[in-house]
Amino acid sequence: MEKVMHLLFSDRFGGAEKVAIDIIKNINKENAIYVSKKGPIEDILKKNKVDYILLDKITYREIEKIIKKRKVTIIHAHDFKASILASLFYKKCTILSHIHQSPEWMDGKNIRTLVYKFREKKFKTIILASSEIKNSRLFLKTTNTTIIPNYVDVGIVPSSNTKSYTFVFVGRLEPEKDPFKFLEFIKKFQRLNRNINAVMIGDGTLKKDIEESIAAENLNVKVAGFIGEPYTLVMAAKFLVVSSIKEGFGIAIIEAMQLGVPVISEDVGGVTSQIKADTGIIVDNLLDVENINKKIRNVNYNNLVEAAKIFGNKYKLEEDWLNLLKGFYK
Protein backbone atom coordinates (compact mmCIF):
# COMPACT_ATOMS: atom_id res chain seq x y z
CA MET A 1 0.00 0.00 0.00
CA GLU A 2 1.38 3.41 -1.02
CA LYS A 3 2.15 5.85 1.79
CA VAL A 4 1.17 9.39 0.80
CA MET A 5 2.45 12.65 2.27
CA HIS A 6 0.33 15.74 1.58
CA LEU A 7 2.76 18.64 1.78
CA LEU A 8 1.60 22.24 2.27
CA PHE A 9 3.35 25.39 3.48
CA SER A 10 0.34 27.20 4.91
CA ASP A 11 -0.30 27.02 8.65
CA ARG A 12 -4.02 27.81 8.41
CA PHE A 13 -7.17 26.59 6.70
CA GLY A 14 -8.06 27.58 3.15
CA GLY A 15 -9.08 26.10 -0.18
CA ALA A 16 -5.98 23.99 -0.80
CA GLU A 17 -6.02 22.73 2.77
CA LYS A 18 -9.67 21.70 2.46
CA VAL A 19 -8.91 19.77 -0.73
CA ALA A 20 -5.96 17.98 0.88
CA ILE A 21 -8.05 16.98 3.91
CA ASP A 22 -10.91 15.77 1.71
CA ILE A 23 -8.50 13.63 -0.32
CA ILE A 24 -6.99 12.10 2.82
CA LYS A 25 -10.41 11.35 4.32
CA ASN A 26 -11.68 9.67 1.16
CA ILE A 27 -8.58 8.02 -0.33
CA ASN A 28 -6.15 5.80 1.53
CA LYS A 29 -6.77 7.50 4.91
CA GLU A 30 -4.85 4.90 6.91
CA ASN A 31 -1.77 5.47 4.77
CA ALA A 32 -1.79 9.26 4.39
CA ILE A 33 -0.22 12.03 6.41
CA TYR A 34 -0.69 15.80 6.32
CA VAL A 35 2.51 17.86 6.71
CA SER A 36 2.65 21.65 7.05
CA LYS A 37 3.79 24.47 9.33
CA LYS A 38 2.47 24.68 12.87
CA GLY A 39 -0.53 26.92 13.28
CA PRO A 40 -4.33 27.15 13.50
CA ILE A 41 -4.67 24.34 10.94
CA GLU A 42 -4.07 21.88 13.80
CA ASP A 43 -7.60 22.34 15.17
CA ILE A 44 -9.10 21.48 11.75
CA LEU A 45 -6.87 18.42 11.38
CA LYS A 46 -7.87 17.14 14.81
CA LYS A 47 -11.54 17.69 14.08
CA ASN A 48 -11.23 15.69 10.85
CA LYS A 49 -9.18 12.95 12.57
CA VAL A 50 -6.37 13.27 10.05
CA ASP A 51 -2.86 12.00 10.80
CA TYR A 52 -0.48 14.96 10.68
CA ILE A 53 2.96 16.32 11.45
CA LEU A 54 3.30 20.08 11.93
CA LEU A 55 6.74 21.65 11.75
CA ASP A 56 8.22 24.89 13.10
CA LYS A 57 10.07 25.21 9.81
CA ILE A 58 9.65 23.17 6.65
CA THR A 59 13.12 22.23 5.38
CA TYR A 60 14.65 19.57 3.16
CA ARG A 61 16.08 17.84 6.23
CA GLU A 62 12.74 17.70 8.08
CA ILE A 63 10.89 16.32 5.06
CA GLU A 64 13.64 13.78 4.47
CA LYS A 65 13.27 12.53 8.06
CA ILE A 66 9.50 12.14 7.68
CA ILE A 67 9.89 10.25 4.39
CA LYS A 68 12.31 7.82 6.03
CA LYS A 69 10.37 7.37 9.28
CA ARG A 70 6.93 7.06 7.68
CA LYS A 71 8.15 5.15 4.59
CA VAL A 72 6.54 7.71 2.26
CA THR A 73 6.32 6.62 -1.39
CA ILE A 74 4.21 9.48 -2.83
CA ILE A 75 4.40 13.21 -2.08
CA HIS A 76 1.23 15.06 -3.06
CA ALA A 77 2.48 18.65 -2.99
CA HIS A 78 -0.08 21.44 -2.89
CA ASP A 79 0.80 24.65 -4.74
CA PHE A 80 4.12 26.01 -5.92
CA LYS A 81 6.47 26.22 -2.94
CA ALA A 82 5.60 22.72 -1.72
CA SER A 83 5.96 21.36 -5.27
CA ILE A 84 9.46 22.79 -5.66
CA LEU A 85 10.59 21.28 -2.36
CA ALA A 86 8.95 17.94 -3.11
CA SER A 87 10.67 17.76 -6.49
CA LEU A 88 14.01 17.38 -4.70
CA PHE A 89 12.87 13.90 -3.57
CA TYR A 90 11.91 12.56 -7.02
CA LYS A 91 14.44 9.71 -6.76
CA LYS A 92 12.85 8.47 -3.53
CA CYS A 93 9.15 9.23 -4.10
CA THR A 94 6.57 9.77 -6.81
CA ILE A 95 5.79 13.49 -6.89
CA LEU A 96 2.38 15.01 -7.67
CA SER A 97 2.19 18.79 -8.05
CA HIS A 98 -1.33 20.07 -7.32
CA ILE A 99 -1.87 23.73 -8.21
CA HIS A 100 -4.90 25.46 -6.69
CA GLN A 101 -3.80 29.08 -7.09
CA SER A 102 -3.49 31.43 -10.03
CA PRO A 103 -1.18 34.27 -8.92
CA GLU A 104 -0.41 37.08 -11.35
CA TRP A 105 3.27 36.18 -11.61
CA MET A 106 2.25 32.91 -13.31
CA ASP A 107 1.64 34.81 -16.57
CA GLY A 108 5.11 36.36 -16.70
CA LYS A 109 8.72 35.30 -17.05
CA ASN A 110 10.37 35.56 -13.65
CA ILE A 111 12.47 33.61 -11.18
CA ARG A 112 9.46 31.72 -9.81
CA THR A 113 8.21 30.53 -13.19
CA LEU A 114 11.75 29.63 -14.27
CA VAL A 115 12.36 27.54 -11.14
CA TYR A 116 9.03 25.72 -11.48
CA LYS A 117 9.62 24.99 -15.19
CA PHE A 118 13.10 23.69 -14.36
CA ARG A 119 11.65 21.20 -11.83
CA GLU A 120 8.39 20.18 -13.55
CA LYS A 121 9.90 17.12 -15.28
CA LYS A 122 10.31 15.61 -11.80
CA PHE A 123 6.52 15.44 -11.35
CA LYS A 124 4.54 12.36 -12.31
CA THR A 125 1.74 14.76 -13.18
CA ILE A 126 0.61 18.31 -12.51
CA ILE A 127 -2.99 18.57 -11.29
CA LEU A 128 -4.65 21.91 -12.06
CA ALA A 129 -7.86 23.07 -10.39
CA SER A 130 -9.22 24.95 -13.40
CA SER A 131 -8.81 25.56 -17.12
CA GLU A 132 -7.84 29.17 -16.32
CA ILE A 133 -4.70 27.89 -14.60
CA LYS A 134 -3.95 25.66 -17.60
CA ASN A 135 -4.31 28.62 -19.97
CA SER A 136 -1.72 30.68 -18.08
CA ARG A 137 1.65 31.23 -19.71
CA LEU A 138 3.29 28.88 -17.21
CA PHE A 139 1.20 25.82 -18.14
CA LEU A 140 -0.06 26.55 -21.65
CA LYS A 141 2.56 24.35 -23.35
CA THR A 142 3.07 21.89 -20.49
CA THR A 143 2.01 18.38 -21.51
CA ASN A 144 1.87 16.43 -18.23
CA THR A 145 -1.09 18.32 -16.78
CA THR A 146 -4.56 17.14 -15.77
CA ILE A 147 -7.45 19.52 -15.02
CA ILE A 148 -9.51 18.31 -12.05
CA PRO A 149 -12.00 20.87 -10.69
CA ASN A 150 -12.33 20.62 -6.94
CA TYR A 151 -15.16 18.64 -5.37
CA VAL A 152 -17.25 20.91 -3.15
CA ASP A 153 -20.20 19.92 -0.97
CA VAL A 154 -21.38 21.99 1.98
CA GLY A 155 -23.65 19.14 3.07
CA ILE A 156 -26.96 19.75 4.80
CA VAL A 157 -27.18 23.23 6.31
CA PRO A 158 -30.35 24.40 8.10
CA SER A 159 -32.00 26.95 5.83
CA SER A 160 -32.95 30.41 6.98
CA ASN A 161 -34.81 33.24 5.30
CA THR A 162 -33.21 35.80 7.59
CA LYS A 163 -30.64 37.98 5.82
CA SER A 164 -28.68 39.79 8.50
CA TYR A 165 -26.04 41.10 6.08
CA THR A 166 -26.09 42.61 2.62
CA PHE A 167 -22.64 41.36 1.64
CA VAL A 168 -20.17 38.74 2.86
CA PHE A 169 -16.44 38.32 2.22
CA VAL A 170 -14.92 34.86 2.72
CA GLY A 171 -11.20 34.26 2.44
CA ARG A 172 -7.77 34.80 3.86
CA LEU A 173 -7.02 38.37 4.87
CA GLU A 174 -3.98 38.45 2.62
CA PRO A 175 -2.95 40.69 -0.32
CA GLU A 176 -3.98 38.20 -3.04
CA LYS A 177 -7.59 38.30 -1.79
CA ASP A 178 -7.46 42.12 -1.72
CA PRO A 179 -9.72 42.61 1.33
CA PHE A 180 -9.10 46.37 1.18
CA LYS A 181 -10.83 46.43 -2.20
CA PHE A 182 -13.81 44.82 -0.48
CA LEU A 183 -13.75 47.60 2.13
CA GLU A 184 -13.62 50.23 -0.63
CA PHE A 185 -16.60 48.49 -2.25
CA ILE A 186 -18.52 48.73 1.05
CA LYS A 187 -17.48 52.35 1.56
CA LYS A 188 -18.83 53.33 -1.85
CA PHE A 189 -22.03 51.35 -1.32
CA GLN A 190 -22.63 53.02 2.03
CA ARG A 191 -22.62 56.38 0.25
CA LEU A 192 -25.56 55.12 -1.81
CA ASN A 193 -27.33 53.42 1.07
CA ARG A 194 -26.32 53.75 4.70
CA ASN A 195 -28.43 50.70 5.60
CA ILE A 196 -26.18 48.19 3.87
CA ASN A 197 -23.86 46.11 6.04
CA ALA A 198 -21.30 43.35 5.65
CA VAL A 199 -19.38 40.60 7.40
CA MET A 200 -15.84 39.40 6.70
CA ILE A 201 -15.03 35.75 7.43
CA GLY A 202 -11.35 34.87 7.55
CA ASP A 203 -8.02 35.57 9.19
CA GLY A 204 -4.56 36.57 8.06
CA THR A 205 -1.72 39.04 8.31
CA LEU A 206 -3.93 41.99 7.29
CA LYS A 207 -6.56 41.46 9.97
CA LYS A 208 -5.37 44.22 12.31
CA ASP A 209 -5.05 46.71 9.44
CA ILE A 210 -8.51 45.74 8.22
CA GLU A 211 -10.05 46.34 11.65
CA GLU A 212 -8.30 49.70 11.97
CA SER A 213 -9.50 50.75 8.51
CA ILE A 214 -13.10 49.77 9.33
CA ALA A 215 -12.98 51.87 12.49
CA ALA A 216 -11.32 54.84 10.78
CA GLU A 217 -13.83 54.86 7.90
CA ASN A 218 -16.80 54.10 10.17
CA LEU A 219 -17.83 51.19 7.96
CA ASN A 220 -20.74 48.94 8.88
CA VAL A 221 -18.59 45.79 8.66
CA LYS A 222 -18.17 42.98 11.17
CA VAL A 223 -14.92 40.99 11.17
CA ALA A 224 -15.90 37.48 12.26
CA GLY A 225 -12.42 35.98 11.97
CA PHE A 226 -11.73 32.41 10.95
CA ILE A 227 -14.66 29.96 11.09
CA GLY A 228 -14.07 26.37 10.01
CA GLU A 229 -17.55 25.87 8.56
CA PRO A 230 -19.02 29.37 8.08
CA TYR A 231 -22.06 28.19 6.15
CA THR A 232 -24.75 29.57 8.48
CA LEU A 233 -23.09 32.98 8.49
CA VAL A 234 -22.64 32.95 4.71
CA MET A 235 -26.34 32.15 4.32
CA ALA A 236 -27.13 35.21 6.41
CA ALA A 237 -25.88 37.44 3.56
CA LYS A 238 -27.61 38.33 0.29
CA PHE A 239 -24.43 38.29 -1.82
CA LEU A 240 -20.88 36.97 -1.62
CA VAL A 241 -18.46 39.62 -2.88
CA VAL A 242 -15.18 38.40 -4.42
CA SER A 243 -12.41 41.01 -4.39
CA SER A 244 -9.50 38.69 -5.23
CA ILE A 245 -6.84 39.82 -7.67
CA LYS A 246 -7.05 36.35 -9.25
CA GLU A 247 -8.64 33.00 -8.37
CA GLY A 248 -7.29 29.56 -9.21
CA PHE A 249 -10.60 27.87 -8.46
CA GLY A 250 -12.62 29.57 -5.71
CA ILE A 251 -14.04 27.01 -3.27
CA ALA A 252 -15.75 29.74 -1.23
CA ILE A 253 -17.59 30.83 -4.39
CA ILE A 254 -18.99 27.34 -5.03
CA GLU A 255 -19.90 26.88 -1.35
CA ALA A 256 -21.82 30.17 -1.36
CA MET A 257 -23.70 29.26 -4.52
CA GLN A 258 -24.62 25.83 -3.15
CA LEU A 259 -26.07 27.71 -0.18
CA GLY A 260 -28.10 29.92 -2.50
CA VAL A 261 -25.93 33.02 -2.06
CA PRO A 262 -25.20 34.62 -5.46
CA VAL A 263 -21.79 36.08 -6.25
CA ILE A 264 -20.71 39.60 -7.17
CA SER A 265 -17.26 39.66 -8.74
CA GLU A 266 -15.04 40.75 -11.55
CA ASP A 267 -13.91 37.94 -13.87
CA VAL A 268 -10.81 36.94 -11.90
CA GLY A 269 -10.47 33.43 -13.32
CA GLY A 270 -11.37 30.15 -11.69
CA VAL A 271 -15.12 29.61 -11.60
CA THR A 272 -15.93 33.32 -11.98
CA SER A 273 -15.28 32.99 -15.74
CA GLN A 274 -18.20 30.52 -15.89
CA ILE A 275 -20.73 32.62 -13.99
CA LYS A 276 -23.35 34.15 -16.26
CA ALA A 277 -25.98 36.85 -15.82
CA ASP A 278 -28.56 34.36 -14.56
CA THR A 279 -26.29 32.84 -11.88
CA GLY A 280 -24.44 35.85 -10.50
CA ILE A 281 -23.31 39.41 -11.15
CA ILE A 282 -19.99 39.63 -12.98
CA VAL A 283 -18.76 43.17 -13.64
CA ASP A 284 -15.79 44.88 -15.27
CA ASN A 285 -15.06 46.95 -12.19
CA LEU A 286 -16.06 45.94 -8.66
CA LEU A 287 -15.82 49.56 -7.54
CA ASP A 288 -18.40 50.75 -10.06
CA VAL A 289 -21.03 50.41 -7.36
CA GLU A 290 -23.66 52.52 -9.10
CA ASN A 291 -23.71 50.01 -11.96
CA ILE A 292 -23.75 47.07 -9.53
CA ASN A 293 -26.53 48.65 -7.48
CA LYS A 294 -28.56 49.06 -10.67
CA LYS A 295 -28.02 45.38 -11.58
CA ILE A 296 -29.09 44.30 -8.07
CA ARG A 297 -32.30 46.36 -8.30
CA ASN A 298 -33.17 44.99 -11.73
CA VAL A 299 -32.48 41.31 -11.11
CA ASN A 300 -35.05 38.79 -9.87
CA TYR A 301 -33.23 37.78 -6.68
CA ASN A 302 -35.16 34.53 -6.12
CA ASN A 303 -34.37 33.37 -9.66
CA LEU A 304 -30.72 34.27 -9.10
CA VAL A 305 -30.65 32.19 -5.91
CA GLU A 306 -32.06 29.10 -7.61
CA ALA A 307 -29.72 29.42 -10.59
CA ALA A 308 -26.77 29.83 -8.24
CA LYS A 309 -27.70 26.60 -6.45
CA ILE A 310 -27.89 24.69 -9.73
CA PHE A 311 -24.49 26.03 -10.79
CA GLY A 312 -22.88 25.25 -7.42
CA ASN A 313 -24.27 21.73 -7.27
CA LYS A 314 -22.40 20.78 -10.45
CA TYR A 315 -19.31 20.44 -8.25
CA LYS A 316 -20.81 17.75 -6.01
CA LEU A 317 -19.59 14.90 -8.23
CA GLU A 318 -17.55 13.33 -5.43
CA GLU A 319 -17.26 9.86 -6.96
CA ASP A 320 -15.93 11.17 -10.28
CA TRP A 321 -13.46 13.43 -8.47
CA LEU A 322 -12.16 10.63 -6.27
CA ASN A 323 -11.80 8.18 -9.15
CA LEU A 324 -9.66 10.65 -11.08
CA LEU A 325 -7.38 11.24 -8.11
CA LYS A 326 -7.10 7.56 -7.21
CA GLY A 327 -5.50 6.92 -10.58
CA PHE A 328 -2.42 8.94 -9.56
CA TYR A 329 -1.82 6.83 -6.45
CA LYS A 330 -1.19 3.61 -8.36
Whether residues 305 and 169 fall in one domain: yes
Whether residues 206 and 238 fall in one domain: yes
- Helix, strand, coil in percent for the chain, rounding step 5: 45, 20, 40
pLDDT tens per residue across span 221-276:
999 998 888 999 999 999 999 999 888 888 899 999 999 999 999 988 888 888 88
Is 175's pLDDT higher than 70? yes
Q: Find the largest Cα–Cα distance for the chain.
A: 61
The DSSP line for 156-206 is ---------EEEEEES-SSGGG-HHHHHHHHHHHHHH-TT--EEEE--STT
169 class by beta-carbon count within 10 Å (0-12 exposed, 13-18 middle, 19+ buried): buried
Whether residues 230 and 278 fall in one domain: yes
Whether residues 16 and 100 fall in one domain: yes
Residue 299's pLDDT is: 92
Q: What is the mean pLDDT of residues 179-186?
A: 97
Whether residues 43 and 173 fall in one domain: no
Range of the domain at 136: 4-148
Q: What is the mean pLDDT of residues 20-49?
A: 93
Question: Which carries the bigger pLDDT value, residue 277 or residue 129?
Answer: 129
Is 99's pLDDT higher than 80? yes
In this prediction the pTM is: 0.84
Domain end residue (candidates: 148, 173, 197): 148
Is 71's pLDDT higher than 70? yes
pLDDT tens per residue across span 114-167:
999 999 999 999 999 988 899 889 998 999 999 998 888 888 787 777 889 999
Residue 278's pLDDT is: 85
Residue 1's pLDDT is: 67
Average pLDDT value over all residues in the chain: 92
